[in-house]
Amino acid sequence: QVQLVESGGGLVQAGGSLRLSCAASGLTFSTYAMGWFRRAPGKEREFVAAVSANGAFTHYADSVKGRFTVSRDNPKNTVYLQMTSLKPEDTAVYYCGAGKVPDTRAYIYNYWGQGTQVTVSS
């Protein structure tokens, strides 16, 4: 079965950096677009970043543009989210999703990981 496993979350001070990873199995990874979403306490899940299947196209939410970078390593079946200049408002559970197109809409994605907590202290 398909599994997406996020890792790399943790507690970091404002201004710091983290790199999230999402390891995929049970699917032909190189044919799936990958997205990162997050859910803060009391809020809806929101789009963060997405990358196309071949890595050539990326898209970011305005709130993270210039601070976060999404990338993928297809031979390793892994997608990454490099987060820099972190702010307290970035605190959330971060999820990766696999879908056929790199979309901003969560319902487009077919598979999801369990999430990893990112907490940014001020």
Average pLDDT, 10 consecutive residues per value, the chain (122 residues): 98 98 98 98 96 97 98 98 98 98 97 98 95
Give residue 1's pLDDT.
95
Answer yes or no: are the C-beta atoms of 104 and 59 closer than 8 Å. yes
Give residue 4's pLDDT.
98
Q: Which residue has the tokens 């390593």?
A: 73
Answer yes or no: are the C-beta atoms of 1 and 110 closer than 8 Å. no
Give residue 7's pLDDT.
98
The pair of three-digit structure tokens given for residue 70, joined into one six-digit string? 């999404």
